[in-house]
Chains A and B, each alone.
Chain A
Amino acid sequence: MSQELLFAVEEVASVAREGFITNFMWLVPLLPFLSFFVILFFGKKLPGKGHSIGLFAVAAAFVISLIGFIDLASGAETVEKSFTWFQFGDGGESLKLELGMNYDFLAALMFVVVTFISLLVQIYSTSYMHDDSRYTWFYAVLSLFTCSMLFLVIANNLIQMIVGWEGVGVCSYFLIGHFWEEKPNSSAAMKAFLTTRVGDTGFMFGIFALFFAGRTFNITELNHAAETASISEGWLTAGALLLFCGAVGKSAQFPLHVWLPDAMAGPTPVSALIHAATMVVAGIYLVARMFIVFEHAGIALDVVAIVASITMLIAAVLALVQDDIKKVLAYSTVSQLGYMMAALGVGAYTAGIFHLFTHAMFKALLFLGSGSLIHAVHSNNMSDMGGLRKYMPHTFKTFIIGSLALAGIFPLAGFWSKDEILGGALRAGLDGGRFVGWVVFITGMIVAFLTAFYMTRACVKTFWGEYRGHGQPHESDGAMVTPLWVLAILSCTVGFLGIPVIGVFADWIFVPGEEHYGFSTFYNLVLPAVSVGLALSAIWLGWQMYAKDRFKVDILSSPFAWVYRFVENKYYLDDIYLRGVVKPIQYPIARASNWFNQKVIDGIVNGAAAGSVKQGRWVYKYLDQKGIDGVINGSAGLTGSTGGLLRYIQSGNVQRYAAVLFVSIAVFVALFAIV
């Protein structure tokens, strides 16, 4: 009897569990969507000037996301459901576009990350943005951003994805330009939007290529078609590389990474949420979502790995020379995004997503920590900081934890994920015989060293030495410090999810239908020892150079001064884009077009008549000039009040028009007669 009861309870529970994802997950993007409108229209009159609605919506979304994730982890089926957004032809035979959800572990993980970081950032912002004149609007856009990002993640097809994709883009535009009174900020916002849009154009064409090759926008079906080779390798390659253009723009990969450092013009909480933890990983997410397509797409993954390697290296070098603490973190983000992308490039799928996950924690922590610093000293520049460990103990401790996690020091989160990537690269090189495996491995090792070095430099400049700024810095309040500690604890712990062999992460995130390696089958102790050794030596070197003032080289008077200048000028990429592309189009080419329009095309319109009159005068003579004039004058006469018009018409210009008109018609009639 009791056994039966237990059985019945279990059955009820399983029914509820089965239903949960289907019945409730769509609420997750919907809640912030609704909260956007509520805040926008009623926010100023609501408690907390709108932030309470935003917080409530995202908190609820987080709880649902978490339950959904636990549900999956305890064995619930993944869900793909959709309805038709619109379709062409009978039953959508020509084109069928769905609006749907594809809720698997990857989406579930992203849901948790996005809603969680968004929640923390919104809590943090209640204090950080407190005095902002557009506080309500700020919360509205945060809601819209969260909604768009979740919409992108849940998408079961590529068109739906690009809708969310552009949605996060425009929110990013609004938030980067939040302080739009100053022109550099609005310019940075424009730069971000336009640079990513260049990539998005490729993304769109990639979607088209795959659509016509596979006759579907659906992600699962496209991956399946790639697996079963029902799309030829050539089209897969074209499609994948074009999709990758979008990822290059959004995830700030070389050569479109230039917008992300400028995006730091936005409020710091925004940098933490959008430009570190969530939106910028959309490109990684895209490649991961379409991973089977990429795998079967010839050289596509090699291209991904090479581009990512270039990205992580050049960005890490740039992080070395920044004074603005947010710029250090921005270049660090670019570099780490390169890490994730490189992981996918070498086939270390699980490792790449794992790094996305851990990076979201410690990079959000670092950005929020930098916000706390900036809040205290009213400057972004490390040259205005120094000695802050005495004034801001919580910020100091959490920032150091974040830095160590980023540097990949055992046993913090970054250590586990970074080593998995290096391991995956090595495996691709050794076992897979892929050249790019070696490229990623070696670059990754160098970048591991550089990362530890630039973070040491930043920490020393910020927290040690004497305070160089103005006024008396003070520790931030609880609304800001609490998220820091939450993230700091997570930066210490989330790595354990992915401990080789015993960690559960690899059971969640893996390429469906493939043997999942990286965590359980490939590992040894030498690799982590070497990478941690590199990181520790970088920390030691950084400490010596910046805290103890040793090993200083005056690079500017050395023969390598040009290298420094080259780096300092960001490899001149901005100059090439701005002076080579943007300005020429914006001014000379645009003006030439306008000149051509006014003088040539319109000139022909206005002038052809005059020419025709001369050449066609003999034709004209035979037409009843007075008749035509009479008609036109008559119609103009109707205006009555505008005598000027009449005078104008009599001035002869119209007669020229009329001449052209009739000459042309005569030609046309003649043609008809001939045919």
Chain B
Amino acid sequence: MDWLNDWGLSIATFLPAIGAVALLLIPSAKEKLMNTAALVITGVTLLVGILLCFEFDYGNAGALQFELNKEWIPQIGANYHIGVDGMAFPLFVLSLLVSFLCIIYMRWHVPEPGKPKAFLALVLLLETGMTGTFIALDLMLFFIFWEIVLVPMYFMIGIWGGPNRQYASVKFFLYTLFGSIFMLLGFLALRLNTGTFDIVQMVDGGVSGSSMFKNLVFAGLALGFAIKVPMWPFHTWLPDAHTEAPTVGSVLLAAIMLKMGTYGFVRIAYPILPDAARDFAPVIGILAVIAIIYGALCCLAQTDLKRLIAFSSVGHMGFVMLGLATLNDKGINGAIFGMVAHGLITGMLFFLAGSIHERYHTREISELGGMLAQIPRFGSLFTYAAIASLGLPGLAGFWGEMLSLLGSYEPGAGLSPALFRVLMVGGGIGTVLTAGYLLWTIQRVNLGKVPANFEGKPIFDVQPLEWIAWTPLLVLILVAGLFPKLILHVTDGAVQGLVGVLGG
């Protein structure tokens, strides 16, 4: 299937955007039809993604596949250069999957103030931006996709968000924009230095110039990526955005968008500027471990369930960044595994948090309780997701954390083992704290007796559409936990290549 090899990625990327335009043609009154249309669009997109899964050459996962390079804006030398390797492919597929599940979930519920047409169109547009980011091999293209993502999410939070949505959406938009402008400056500096926007060429040709120059460019890129991840201390937009965002927005934000930042490191900053990466790795590692411990501590203090899950993302992405900071194959493989695992698990947790709000009309942990007694199936899913999130072996959360810590024991590229072992111990303390806040949350939300104000109320258990939207995530959390090879087999080839560039 040649067309799939050449155009599969492009179809999967742009079909949702085209669909978004098509949606606008459907009369606003036909809400069900609109959702069905969006479902078909994301479904077909996912199907293309699945076909690509069969076409992908797993034995050669280190090489770029489904590559396409066409002239795009010759005036500035930007090309439409796309392709995926083992690091990008899992995230690409994850984006398609989660977007599809979000549309299914929205069949069940569209948040206030309604207007499903606009909402669905934004989700589709967001999908294009996210998928595009993971396939772009040209800095300009990458930047465009990166920025495309901002706008739909901004409106999603700003229009369909919670009471404090205006503050949260503006903060999200400007903070990320703030970062991406430094990123863009970095891109331009690289363009001036190497004469191309092409990532592959840059990696092959290398960047000339003083180490000061390289470090400065790296700092610019890293700031842009770090805000997206978000790394401590650039994370404060995240809890606000998550808390205010509608459920689907939170899910997409946590499951996919955060990974754009970490992906930026492995696709752009690391391979193009390996020397600078070595200089910065200790700082990244330290910030990562601060994020792990600090995130867990903040989680303990949260009273709002959704905000708690948001802070848990800070900690989990800390593990991902710690893995990246090790600059060796164990850590980076673990980091990419961690990205996928976090996408599945935290995506699931945000779905659950949203559905809790629909049922109880509150997310205050102190008002909730006894969910397992009142809605046992739902409560079981909550326990399952929370336990996956605390990194239980056998479920997806474990391998990413374990490999990140393992990588820290003996970091690559001549980094100081002493420092990284201290960081490893810090991360280990983080795993205990993480278990602490998650089990405590289970105890407060799930266990105990049903609170008086919900006693006898018709709180319904998991709905059929919820089952459909969630089952893939639930199954994948288990499958990835039992057969980590499914992901690590894909990532390792590409990671070995990256580690080779980094000198590990």
Contact stretch, chosen from A425-433, A470-478, A555-563, A665-673: A665-673
Contacts of B488 in A (CB 8 A): 86, 88
B223: shortest Cβ distance to chain A, in Å? 9
Q: A89-B329, A645-B158, A675-B210 are in contact. Are A585 and B433 (CB under 8 A)?
A: yes
Q: Mark B378-401, 1 if CB is under 8 A from A, else 0.
A: 000000000100001110001000
Flag whether B135 is at the interface (Cβ < 8 A): no
Interchain CB contact under 8 A, B166 and A593: no
Q: Bound complex: CA of A669 vs CA of B113, how far in Å?
A: 43
Give the chain A neighbours of B181 by CB distance below 8 A: 661, 665
Complex contact B405–A208 (CB within 8 A): yes
Q: Bin the interface of chain A by size.
A: 35 or more
Bound Cα distance A86, B483 (Å):
8
A518 CB to nearest B CB, Å:
35
Tell me if B432 and A181 are in contact (CB < 8 A).
no
Known: A95-B330, A660-B178, A661-B181. A654 touches B298 (CB 8 A): no
- Say whether A648 contacts B302, CB under 8 Å: no
Q: How far is the CB of A87 from chain B (nearest CB, A)?
A: 8
- Bound-state Cα–Cα, A183 to B448, Å: 6
Out of A209, A585, A605, which one reaches B236, CB within 8 Å? Answer: A605
Given A167-B394, A193-B439, A585-B433, A86 and B170 touching (CB < 8 A)? no
Asked if residues B216 and A672 are in contact (CB atoms below 8 Å), the reply is yes
Using A197-B431, A601-B236, A654-B174 as known contacts, say yes or no to A89 and B394 having CB atoms under 8 A apart: no
Select the residue from A180, A198, A649 with max chain B CB neighbours within 10 A.
Answer: A180
Q: Which of A204, A639, A665 contacts B159 (CB 8 A)?
A: A639
- Tell me, in angstroms, the Cα distance from A194 to B435 when the chains sit together: 7
| A-chain residues with CB within 8 Å of residue B297 when the two chains form the complex | 585, 589-590, 593-594
| Minimum C-beta distance from B81 to chain A (A) | 26
Say yes or no for B301: interface residue by CB 8 A criterion.
yes
Interface residues as binary, A576-600 with B (CB distance below 8 Å gives 1, 0 otherwise):
0000000001100111011001000
Indicate whether A86 sits within 8 Å of B409 (C-beta atoms), given known contacts A661-B174, A665-B181: no
Chain A residue with Cβ nearest B217: A672
Q: Is the interface of A mostly helix, strand, loop or mixed?
A: helix
Contact present for A88 and B492 (CB under 8 Å): yes
Contact with B along A64-99 (1 / 0, CB 8 A): 000000000000000000001111111000110000
B220 within 8 A of A: yes
The CA-CA distance from A589 to B216 in the complex, in Å, is 36
CB neighbours of B151 from chain A (8 A): 635
A664 at the interface (CB under 8 A from B): yes
Q: When chains A and B are docked, how far (Å) is the Cα of A88 from the Cα of B159? A: 46
Q: Are B300 and A602 in contact (CB under 8 A)?
A: no
Q: Least Cβ distance of B197 to chain A in Å?
A: 18
Q: Is B177 an interface residue (CB 8 A)?
A: yes
When A601-B233, A654-B174 are in contact, do A594 and B301 touch as well, CB less than 8 Å? Answer: yes
Tell which of A170, A182, A189, A201 has the most Cβ of chain B within 10 Å.
Answer: A201
Chain A's nearest CB lies how many Å from the CB of B490? 11
A86 to B433, CA, bound (A): 28
Across the two chains, which residue of chain B brings its CB closest to A661? B178
State how many residues of chain B have any CB contact under 8 Å with chain A.
71
Residue A3 interfacial (CB < 8 Å): no
Q: How far is the CA of A420 from the CA of B51 in the complex (A)?
A: 65
A47 within 8 A of B: no
Contact B402 A177 (CB under 8 A): no
The residues of A that contact B7 with a CB separation of less than 8 Å are none
Asked if A438 lies at the interface with its beta carbon under 8 angstroms from chain B, I say no
Query: Is A88 touching B393 in the complex (CB atoms < 8 A)?
Result: no
B449: interface (CB < 8 Å): yes
Q: Is A612 an interface residue (CB 8 A)?
A: no
Q: List chain B residues, Cβ under 8 A from A602.
A: 236
Bound-state Cα–Cα, A167 to B485, Å:
20
Check A85/B405 contact, CB under 8 A, given A671-B216, A675-B213: no
B167, B216, B330, B392: the one contacting A166 at CB < 8 Å is B392
- How far apart are the CA atoms of A40 and B471 in the complex, in Å? 15
- The residue from B189, B216, B393 contacting A162, defined by CB atoms under 8 A apart: B393
Q: Are B178 and A194 in contact (CB under 8 A)?
A: no
B496 contacts partner chain A, Cβ-Cβ < 8 Å: yes
Residue of A nearest to B236 (CB): A602
Selected contact of A597 from candidates B167, B236, B496, CB within 8 Å: B236
With a CB–CB cut-off of 8 A, which chain B residues contact A55? none
Q: Does B424 count as interface, using CB distance less than 8 angstroms?
A: yes
A201 CB contacts on chain B under 8 angstroms: 428-429, 431-432
Complex Cα distance, B178 from A585, in Å, reads 34
**A190 at the B interface (CB under 8 A):** yes
A383 interface residue per 8 A CB criterion = no
A134 CA / B83 CA spacing, docked (Å)? 51
Question: Residue B373 at the A interface, CB < 8 A?
Answer: yes
B-chain residues with CB within 8 Å of residue A601 when the two chains form the complex: 233, 236
- Cα of A303 to Cα of B204 in the assembled complex, Å: 54
List the B side residues contacting A586 at CB < 8 Å.
Answer: 300, 436, 440
- B425 is an interface residue with CB less than 8 A from chain A: yes
Q: Tell me the number of A-to-B contacts counted with CB atoms below 8 Å.
A: 175
Using A605-B175, A669-B185 as known contacts, say yes or no to A639 and B155 having CB atoms under 8 A apart: yes
Report if A658-B393 is in contact (Cβ < 8 Å); known contacts: A85-B484, A183-B448. Answer: no
In whole angstroms, what is the CA distance A194 to B171 when docked? 37
Interface string of B208-248 (1 = CB under 8 A from A): 00101100100010000000000001001100000000000
CB pair A653 B170 closer than 8 Å = yes
Contact B178 A657 (CB under 8 A): yes
A94 lies within 8 A of B330 (CB): yes
Q: Among A170, A182, A593, A660, point to the contact of B294 (Cβ < 8 A).
A: A593
Q: Tell me the nearest residue of chain B to A170, going by C-beta.
A: B392
CA A89 to CA B113, docked complex, whole Å = 52
Q: What is the bound-complex CA distance between A166 and B399, given in angstroms? A: 13
Chain A hits for B495, CB < 8 A: 88
B242 to chain A, nearest CB (A): 14
A585 to B429 alpha-carbon distance, docked (Å): 12
Please name all residues of chain A whose beta carbon is closer than 8 Å to the beta carbon of B298 when the two chains form the complex.
Answer: 590, 593-594, 597
- Cβ-based interface call for B375 (8 A): no
Contact A672 B424 (CB under 8 A): no
* Distance in angstroms between the alpha carbons of A211 and B330 in the assembled complex: 13
**Is B35's CB within 8 Å of the partner chain A?**
no
Cα A94 to Cα B433 with chains together (Å): 30
A189: chain B residues at CB < 8 Å are 439
B471 → chain A closest CB, angstroms: 12
Select one of B113, B301, B387, B428 contacting A204, CB under 8 A: B428
Answer whether A672 and B174 are a contact pair too, CB < 8 Å, given A86-B489, A197-B435, A639-B155.
no
The reply to whether B174 and A212 contact each other, CB–CB distance below 8 Å, is no
A639–B158 CB distance below 8 A: yes
Alpha-carbon gap, A664 to B178, bound state (A)? 9
**A606-636 contacts to B (CB < 8 Å):** 635
B393 touches which of A167, A183, A212 (Cβ 8 Å): A167
Q: Which residues from 138 to 185 on chain B have a C-beta closer than 8 Å to any C-beta of chain A? A: 151, 155, 158-159, 166-167, 169-171, 174-175, 177-178, 181-182, 185
Residues of chain A within 8 A (CB-CB) of B372 are 180
Interface check A187, CB cutoff 8 A = yes
Residue A228 interfacial (CB < 8 Å): no
Contact A590 B405 (CB under 8 A): no
Interface status of A163 (Cβ within 8 A of chain B) = yes
Closest B residue to A609 using CB positions: B174
In this assembly, does A641 line the interface, its C-beta being within 8 Å of a C-beta of chain B?
A: yes
Q: List 27 A-B residue pairs with CB atoms under 8 Å apart, sorted by A's residue number.
A: A86-B489, A95-B406, A170-B392, A180-B448, A181-B449, A183-B443, A186-B443, A186-B447, A194-B439, A205-B405, A205-B409, A208-B409, A586-B436, A590-B298, A590-B299, A593-B297, A597-B236, A605-B236, A605-B237, A642-B166, A645-B170, A657-B175, A657-B178, A660-B178, A668-B182, A672-B185, A672-B216
Can you add 11 more A-B contacts, CB < 8 Å, to A198-B432, A208-B424, A641-B113?
A86-B485, A163-B393, A166-B394, A183-B443, A186-B443, A204-B402, A635-B151, A657-B170, A658-B174, A660-B178, A669-B185
Pick the 7 closest A-B CB pairs, nearest first: A590-B300, A594-B301, A593-B297, A163-B393, A180-B447, A590-B301, A86-B485
